[in-house]
Structure 1
Amino acid sequence: MNIQVVMADDHPVLLSGMDHMLAGIPDIDVAGLASNSTELVELLERQVSVDVVVTDFSMPHGRHGDGITLLRLLGRRYPKLRRVVLTGVESSWILRSILDVHVSVIVSKTDPHHLLEPAIRAAYAGHAYLSPEVERLVREAQAGGGAPDGAALTKRETEVLRMYAEGLTVSEIGDRVGRSRKTVSTQKLSAMRKLGLQGDAEIFQYAMMHGLVLASQVSRGHVAGTHN
């Protein structure tokens, strides 16, 4: 029985290239292609039997989000579906967060595309598979202890980090939640200290890896940058 695969990526050329490559493999069938999470979920709802989904980590505009948010949704809604993440993300924090939501097959876009085939086969068999670049980055994270979790954060500190990562300034957050600028700033700095974060870039990475913001917001610069 052939392996039924659905692929999702917002880059048409890459998606077409992967489709063409897999078309030459006799026992792998591409059951559908999607350019965002909306199309992906619609495909999965229509297809009776899909064994493996290959999805980009960062895909904007979809109704179901992307990144960790999408991976969690796929895991909940389709528990038997095997997930493969294809990503250009180079953050060891983010890669570890993908593993933390029980996705054990990750392929870097910087690695040769022919590695997609063994990744799909590993996922189908229920095995782990990391492409060489992903494995290197994950080893770095393990050696460095990785990022701390958010268990020590208060609800308000988490709220402040989320809105800050979404692009709101400290003053705008204060207006939205009814707190003074000074109070919000104190909560932001307290959260950063507890988590060992050293600036905006690490705040965005933390927010993305914990599903507080969408991957496309960060990777495409919708919220990246310095604000006060």
Structure 2
Amino acid sequence: MTIHVVIADDHPVVLAGVAAALQGVEGISIDAVFPGSTELVQHISHTWAGVVVTDYSMPGGEYGDGATLLAFLQRRFPQLKIVVLTGIENPVVLGGILDAGVKCVVSKTDAGHFLGHAILAADQGKGYISPEIAHAIAGVEKTDEPHPGLSRREAEVLRMVAEGLEVVEIANRIRRSRKTVSTQKISAMRKLNLEKDLDIFDYAIKHGLVPASQLARGVRRGDKED
């Protein structure tokens, strides 16, 4: 039986690489590839898909990215099987993906065949954590400088700030008040001893909240205050 797969990633090179890695894998058919959540949701709203492979950090789409997109997909398409393919290495964010109910997570730094394993596992309703993801999650217990008390929501807010989103944009995306998001941002910055948005950008890349390629596409607002 063929597994019909749809892929979403805002990096054209990644889309091409994933398609190449899965080409010829027995039992897997790539039906469509999309650059963001808008096109992805439009497609699966009208065309059945067995498994969706989606990037986690994929800003700009109508349906958001990260935890917001995953929650939307699971709510709107409860039968859909999801594999998250991500360049994020932060254990807090990765833990949030698993807590959101996604059972299959693969790192973009893993060899291509691991994604095929994840798709097969997702189709069967099983879990699959690639080697690099497992290593990153396990590493949180070994690091000399873990994220001190940072909640998953605070980590998510910092991730989106690092991607160039304003507090009001984050609030709209995660359906929280501007005040709530601002409070979470301030709380996270206090816990991490960060003073400015520029510090958030530096922290995000150093600690794997966003991939370097994704941060480079954000708008560095420097010392701009909310």
TM-score of the two chains, using structure 2 as the length reference: 0.70
Give 2:108's aligned amino acid: K
- Determine helix, strand or coil for the equivalent of 2:151: coil
* Alignment CA distance shift 1:14-1:190 (3 Å): closer
Pick closer, same or farther for the CA change 1:190–1:5 going to 2, 3 Å.
closer
Superposed, 1:123-202 pairs within 5 Å as: 123-141=122-140, 147-149=149-151, 166-167=165-166, 191-192=187-188, 196-199=191-194, 200-201=199-200
Q: Deviations over 1:164-213 (max 9, x none)?
A: 98446xxxxxxxx9x9xxxxx9x6797348x83332539x86xxxxxxxx
CA distance in structure 1 between the aligned counterparts of 2:26 and 2:120, rounded to whole angstroms: 13
Per mean C-alpha deviation after superposition, the further-off stretch among 136-145 and 98-107 is 136-145
On the 8 A contact 1:4/1:51 being kept in 2, the answer is yes
2:207 aligned partner: none
Taking the aligned partners of 2:88 and 2:161, their CA distance within structure 1 comes to: 22
Summarize the Cα distance change of 1:114–1:217 in structure 2 as closer, same or farther, 3 Å threshold: closer
Partner Cα distance (1:72, 1:115) in 2: 24
Secondary structure of 2:140 counterpart: helix
CA contact 1:167–1:224 (8 Å) conserved in 2: no
Change (3 A) 1:166 1:123: same
Distance of 2:121 and 2:200 partners within structure 1:
33
Q: Matches of residues 60-99 of structure 1 in structure 2 within 5 Å?
A: 60-99=59-98
The percent of aligned pairs where both chains have the same amino acid is: 39
Matched, 1:45 2:45: yes
Q: CA deviation at 1:33?
A: 0.9
Letter in 2 for 1:119: A
Structure number with bigger Rg: 1
Q: 1:15 deviation in Å?
A: 1.0
In structure 1, what is the Cα distance between the partners aligned to 2:20 and 2:99?
A: 31
Name the SS of the counterpart of 1:64 in structure 2: coil
Whether 1:221 and 2:223 are equivalent positions in the alignment is no
For 1:64 and 1:219, how far apart are their aligned partners in 2?
22
Deviation of the 1:131 alpha carbon: 1.1
Q: Which residue of 1 aligns with 2:33?
A: 33
SS of structure 1 residue aligned to 2:14: helix
Given that 1:108 and 1:133 are in contact with CA atoms closer than 8 Å, whether structure 2 keeps it comes out as yes
Alpha-carbon deviations, 1:102-134, whole Å to 9, x = none?
Answer: 112111111111211001011111221111111
2:96–2:152 CA contact under 8 A, matched in 1: no
Partner of 2:56 in structure 1?
57
Cα deviation digits, residues 74-109 of structure 1 (max 9, x gap): 111111111111111121111111111111211111
Q: Secondary structure at the match of 1:18?
A: helix
Give, in whole Å, the separation in 2 of the partners of 1:190 and 1:76: 30
Could you list the runs of 5+ residues in structure 2 that have no partner in the other structure?
A: 168-176, 205-212
TM-superposed deviation, 1:142: 5.2
Root-mean-square deviation (CA, aligned residues, Å) is 3.6
> Match for 2:60: what amino acid?
H
Q: Please state how far the C-alpha of 1:220 moved relative to its aligned partner.
A: 3.7
Q: Distance in 1 between matches of 2:58 and 2:113?
A: 22
Aligned to 2:174: none
